[in-house]
Structures are given as structure tokens and as C-alpha cells.
Amino acid sequence: MRISGSIALVTGANRGIGRAFARQLVERGAARVYATARQPEKIDIPGVERLRLDITDPQSVRAAAAAAPDVTLLVNNAGITTGTNLVTGDLSTIKLEMDTHFYGTLDMVRAFAPILGGNGGGALLNVLSALSWFSTEGANAYAAAKAAEWSLTNGVRLELAGQGTLVTGLHLGAADTDMMAGYDGDKMDPADVVRLALDSIEAGRIEVLADGWSRHVKASLANDPSAFYGIAAT
């Protein structure tokens, strides 16, 4: 998969990591970049084609697929974080997290998989999170939705292998975006995250661990979870 000459579509391209993806795809010579958002008028990247897209609306997803039948690289980046816990949080908000990260991403995959296959296979990248692999107070709905999206990524990778589609999962701890504005820890530059992700697609990698925290969290999965969470055995 080469970025130069590809036809890319990026969800959530109006800000943050999605905006950085759209910008770098143009800079790296993509022949066409569809930059999508619920409010495409807010996309300010020269050289892209703006499309309206709400990934939680099946009709909107179908319309995007009809408008972009030449896509060879799909970047599923659109997401939300509601700061909701599972036991006491509002159930409709928890469902919104799942509708966005799991069902919305799945709807995009189902709509564009035939397009990618018809255009030679191409590549599909899902922007995941280190929170695919751990939970934390105040973000448990997000973590559960990202865990589901990680499993989705692994599943569709197997299902699309026969048509030659590379399916890559991108994990990171935190990037310096509007979504993470209230977080005080270390944050990556979105441009660095995107550069690593696009380089990894060109190298044919199926998983990208963008920072030390995502590598640490994944490595911890082989151990007793009480060590990671600091919970003593009873």
C-alpha cells in the first residue's frame, strides 16, 4: 500500500488526529482525499474534498460510500468521549459511545469493504486507544467501546484478508487534541501519531503502538491484572 496516488477517506477530519491525517495525506501525494465530518464546512484543509458524514447515521454512511466509490484507503478516526462510567452513568450516553466507536465504525467497514475490494484491496485503519486494553474511572464507557472496536478490527482483518485489504489498528495513550484538552499527562503531537500510522500502513503492519504507554498497557495483559490496577488479592 502506497500513500502516494491513493484515494483516501478520513472520518472526523475537522479537528485533532483526523485533521492531521487529511493534511498529511495531501502532503504525501494522495491523489484524492475525502475529508468528512458532520459539519464539513468546518474543515479548513486545502486540497481535500469535503463530505458530510455522521457515522452513527446509516443513511449518511451509505451516501458517503456512494459519493466516494474510488476509495483505496479508509481511515476510521471519528470518535467521542463522554466521561461516563458504566454502573451509574446515563445509559443513553453509554450507548452513544458504543454507537459511535463500534456500530458506527462497523457500518463504515461494511459500506466501504466492497469498494476497497473492487479497487484492488487497499487498506483500512481504525484509530483505537490504549484504553482498548484497560479501564479507568471516568472513562469506562469509552474504554468498553474501544475494546469492542479493537475486537472488531481483529475480526474484520480476518474477513477482509481474502480480498487483499490491509486492516491496521492504531493505539495511543493521548494526543494533544481538543478531546484531550483536560488531560494533564504527556500528550503526543497529532502529526507524529499520523506520520507513524501512515508509515506503518506503507510497511504493511497490522498494529501500531504509537507511544510508550500503549506498549506498556498491552504488555501488561499477559500478567495478573491486580498488578496493573494495584488491587490486592482477597
Domains of the chain: 7-229 (3.40.50.720)
d(CA 227, CA 150): 23
Q: Which pLDDT does position 149 carry in this prediction?
A: 98
Q: Which pLDDT does position 182 carry in this prediction?
A: 58
167 Cβ contact list (under 8 Å, min separation 6):
123, 124, 125, 126, 153, 156, 157, 160, 206
**Tens digit of pLDDT for each residue in 91-131?**
999 999 999 999 999 999 999 999 999 999 999 999 999 99
Q: Which residues of the chain have pLDDT under 70?
A: 175-185, 187, 232-234
d(CA 184, CA 207): 27
Q: Indicate the pTM of the whole model.
A: 0.93
**Amino acid found at 54:** D
Q: Which pLDDT does position 185 carry in this prediction?
A: 60
Strands (E), 153-206: 166-171
